[in-house]
Amino acid sequence: MCLLLLGLAALALINPATADTVLITGSSRGLGLEMASQYAADGWDVIATARSPDDDDALQALARTYENIRIETLDVTDHGEIEAVAAKLRGTAIDVLINNAGVLGNPDQQQLGKLDFSAAEMLFATNTFGPLKISEAFLDHVAASDTKKIMTISSIVGSMTNTTGNIYFYRASKTAVNMMMANFAVDAKKRGIIVGMIHPGVVDTDMSAPFNIPKVAVEDSATGVRNVIAWYTPGTSAQFMQYTGEPMAW
């Protein structure tokens, strides 16, 4: 009996129960930083990516608080860097990948009469092509996990049904990422991967600062987004959801 217990204890040391792993892009501030904090507090292994983490004091402080946070440098517009980080993390199963990094751009350059089309390139590179490239690069990591989820933080402003004018390029970059990820969901399904697009609310972060409208606290948005991520199943993959758990019109 004693030998049996010793054997089981040794086995537990060799095969410790592993925590789920989440990779979050754009973890330096705002929603990404808050989601990294909440997942870490819940015991997840967090791969918090940021484009210039050495300058990101809040993220560095969070990583000092939680030893289960690992920081990786990742600019979502730099495809070579995306491939390099994916190669570095080869063999690491990623349960949930969250495409969170995003930019609004200058709203003044996105008004009718002042449209500056050169501003659109950065928006599409970040908000649309970044999530698709990252989802492709980390496909094997997610497929190797138990949970197998790739989630993208989209926006109500990308909804064709809810459009209200202005911020042309930002809106279109979010509409386009919804199409990219809905299409990606068809291919990813063959690997058992669940895909989601989530509107996080109008969140009180740097991004929403130009808009004087009611906002959701970042803590509440992150909690809601995490609940919706947990809600997704193979049967609900590829749906466009709000952080409240309600469906979002395309």
Window 97-116: residues binding ligand NAP (CB under 6 A): 100-103
How do the residues of the chain divide into helix, strand and coil, expressed in percent and rounded to 5?
50, 15, 35
x/- mask, ligand NAP, residues 77-96, rule CB under 6 A, reads: x-------------------
Establish if 30 lies at the interface with ligand NAP (CB under 6 A): yes
Establish if 31 lies at the interface with ligand NAP (CB under 6 A): yes
Q: Which of 24, 85, 188, 203 binds ligand NAP (CB under 6 A)?
A: 203
Residue number with CB closer to ligand NAP (128 or 237): 128
* Stretch of 40-48, 86-94, 180-188, 205-213 contacting ligand NAP, by CB under 6 A: 205-213
Q: 196 — phi, psi (to 5°)? A: -140, 150
Q: Which of 42, 206, 231, 245 binds ligand NAP (CB under 6 A)?
A: 206
Torsion sign across C-alpha atoms 115, 116, 118, 121: negative
CA distance 181 to 176: 9
Residue 148: C-alpha distances to residues 74, 139, 145 (Å): 21, 9, 6
Establish if 52 lies at the interface with ligand NAP (CB under 6 A): yes
In contact, 231 and 243? CB cutoff 8 Å: no
Establish if 172 lies at the interface with ligand NAP (CB under 6 A): no
Q: Which of 35, 39, 66, 75 binds ligand NAP (CB under 6 A)?
A: 75
Amino acid at 88: K
CA distance 155 to 206: 15
| Structure-derived torsion over alpha carbons of residues 199, 102, 186, 172, reported in degrees to the nearest 10 | 80
Establish if 237 lies at the interface with ligand NAP (CB under 6 A): no
Establish if 238 lies at the interface with ligand NAP (CB under 6 A): no
Q: Tokens 């309600």 — which residue? A: 246
* Stretch of 14-22, 25-33, 81-89, 159-167 contacting ligand NAP, by CB under 6 A: 25-33
Q: How many CB atoms lie within 10 A of CB 221?
A: 26
Establish if 51 lies at the interface with ligand NAP (CB under 6 A): yes
Give the binding site for ligand NAP (CB under 6 A).
25-26, 28-32, 50-52, 75-77, 100-103, 126, 153, 155, 199-200, 202-203, 205-208
